[in-house]
Amino acid sequence: MMGAMKKLSKQLTYDASADAVAAMLDDPAFREAVLERQRVERGSVDIDGDVARIEQVRSGDDIPSFARKFVGDEIVIVQTETWTSAHGADVELAIPGKPGEAVGTLVLVESGGTTTETVELDVSVRIPLVGGKIEAMIADMVGHALDVEHQVGVEWLSR
């Protein structure tokens, strides 16, 4: 039996307008700075119109042994954001060649000079027995990556 999906909900607050946050998220230099800070093995950023595609390769060293035989020595995550409005996007994380993904939304809401970026994702890994554990691990990994992105973003916007 497949487990329930793992839900990830994260709120990142910036002291900036929603337009400024959207412009930052649309800047390849910002996305590259985030990848660098996340210490990925390698990564690439491709922003074309309303679609941002970020590929990151992470070392499997930090991955628990139960999951390593599933992901291998490294884990590749391809994040695609399709902006459906000035302040909202559909988000999809794929793990090429593996039965796992995360799908959800990113929404920017401005209030009183600050902007809250809300990311909500459903993580699903279709593997018997360990799927739920791997979902939790991926949700933690993505949550941590968003925390790092937030730190870089706060610094970026304060310049």
- Please give the pLDDT value at position 1: 44
Write down the pTM of the prediction: 0.91
The runs of H, that is alpha helices, within 7-130 are 18-25, 28-37, 65-71
The percent of residues above 90 in pLDDT, for the chain, comes to 71
Q: How far is residue 8's CA from residue 70's CA, in Å, rounded to a whole number? A: 21
Measured CA to CA in angstroms, residue 156 lies from 65, 66, 124 at distances of 36, 37, 32
Token pair in block for residue 102? 């995360």
The per-residue pLDDT of the chain, averaged, comes to 92
Contact between 152 and 34 (Cβ < 8 Å): yes
Residue 3 predicted with pLDDT over 80: no
- Please give the pLDDT value at position 86: 96
Give the model confidence (pLDDT) of 75-115 as tens digits: 899 999 999 999 999 999 999 988 889 999 999 999 999 99
Residue 56 predicted with pLDDT over 90: yes
How many CB atoms lie under 10 A from the CB of residue 1? 5
Domains and CATH numbers, the chain: 6-158 (3.30.530.20)
Close Cβ partners of 107 (under 8 Å, ≥ 6 residues apart): 87, 88, 89, 117, 118
